[in-house]
Amino acid sequence: MAEKGRISGESIDIDYDATRKFFDGRCNKTYASALSTTMYQDDNPQLVEQRDQTEKDIISQKIDRTSLHRVFDVGCGIGRWGWFWATENADIEYQGIDFSQGLIDTAITEANKRGFTNLRFQQMSAVDINPAKLAVLPPYDLVIISGLLIYLNDQDCLKMLQQIAEFTAPNGQIYIREPVAVEQRLTLNQFYSEELADDYSAIYRNETEMQAYIEQAFGGRFHLVKAGPLFPDKLEKRAQTRQHFFILQKG
């Protein structure tokens, strides 16, 4: 059995069932901002909304939107990226998946509240994607992987990225955003978080590890368009991690 708590510098697996239980539990709580369901900051709704808007403002300017019709959001959470693309283009075909049925139910509810009836959400694991069962079929002009990889073990992280490469249209783009370890890898394995009032598991890989995964999964078929830190210091809260983004284009 893997060691529990904070583990630095070691590669250990986290338990997906525990992670699903964690997110399903959060879907049963009420927050000042629905975004806190997956972006946390439960007591600071202004910060979580500012982070959401800042990410969308920055990334939407870096993605080529000239031929964007189909979007696939892997680990969509409550569907916050779907709201953005539906606002940008009423004809967008958006497909979100998440392994938590609670998150998918919340995503459908939140989309309906906002009047977005063209967004598609389905319960499906990122490590076992069946494209034939998706409401919006590949290929996709944009694939979003935002804050997902920290919840995947190493072998599944690589497997998922390689599969996503096959779903991307010619000249399609992939957007990855992850909290990365500033120094060595940090794993929280069923670590009790006072802030979240629950056991929490996540794998924070460092930037070198992230770049290695990207090269192994996409090298030769994609080129890196842009990458770097996402948020200014005032929007970062953790000393050991920072939010980084990577935008890749096929071809």
In tens, the pLDDT along 84-131 reads 999 999 999 999 999 999 999 999 999 999 999 999 999 999 999 999
Buried b (16+ CB within 10 A) or exposed e, 111-127: beeeebeebbbbebbbe
Helix-helix angle 16-26:101-113, to 10 degrees: 30
Which residues span the domain enclosing 103? 5-250
Q: What is the mean pLDDT of the chain?
A: 96
Nearest to 201 by CA among 78, 22, 37, 9: 22
Q: Which domain CATH number covers 104? A: 3.40.50.150
Contact 156, 127 (CB under 8 A): yes
Average pLDDT over residues 221-230: 96
Tell whether the model's pLDDT for residue 26 goes beyond 90.
yes
Entry pTM: 0.96
| Residue 158 reports pLDDT greater than 90 | yes
pLDDT per position as a tens digit, 33-52: 999 999 999 999 999 999 99
> What integer pLDDT is reported at residue 70 of this predicted model?
97
191 contacts 251 by C-beta, under 8 angstroms: no
Q: Report whether pLDDT(2) > 80.
A: no
121-156 pLDDT per residue, tens: 999 999 999 999 999 999 999 999 999 999 999 999
Average pLDDT (221-237) is 95
- Residue 89's closest CA among 50, 112, 116, 108? 116
Phi, psi dihedral angles at 99 (to 5 degrees):
-80, -15
Query: Where does the pLDDT of residue 1 fall: very low under 50, low under 70, confident under 90, or very high at 90 and above?
Result: low
Q: Number of structural domains, the chain?
A: 1
